[in-house]
Amino acid sequence: MNILDSAYAAEQRGQSTAEASKLKDYRAAVKAQSGKAIDADKADLLITFSSGL
């Protein structure tokens, strides 16, 4: 299960703290790959989109 799947599962269980933690982990993982495996502009977009979840 990937990070976003884990965040979704936490949301479905009503565990908002766990969901927020998983989304924070996701943003950190995307930021770590920004300019490497993920284009910097696309990484910024993914981080922005995930902040709205």
pLDDT value, residue 38: 98
Rounded to 5°, the CA angle 32-35-39 comes to 110
Amino acid identity, position 11: E
pTM (whole model) above 0.75 = yes
Q: Would you state the pLDDT for residue 8?
A: 97
**pLDDT classification of 53: cutoffs 50, 70, 90:** confident
Under the banding of pLDDT at 50, 70 and 90, the label for residue 1 is confident
Q: What percent of the chain has pLDDT over 70?
A: 100
Domain range summary for the chain, segments of one domain joined by +? 3-51
Average pLDDT over residues 4-29: 98
Is residue 30 within 8 A of residue 38, CB to CB? The reply is yes
Question: Are the beta carbons of 44 and 34 closer than 8 angstroms?
Answer: yes
Residue 51, class by beta-carbon neighbours within 10 Å (0-12 exposed, 13-18 middle, 19+ buried)?
exposed
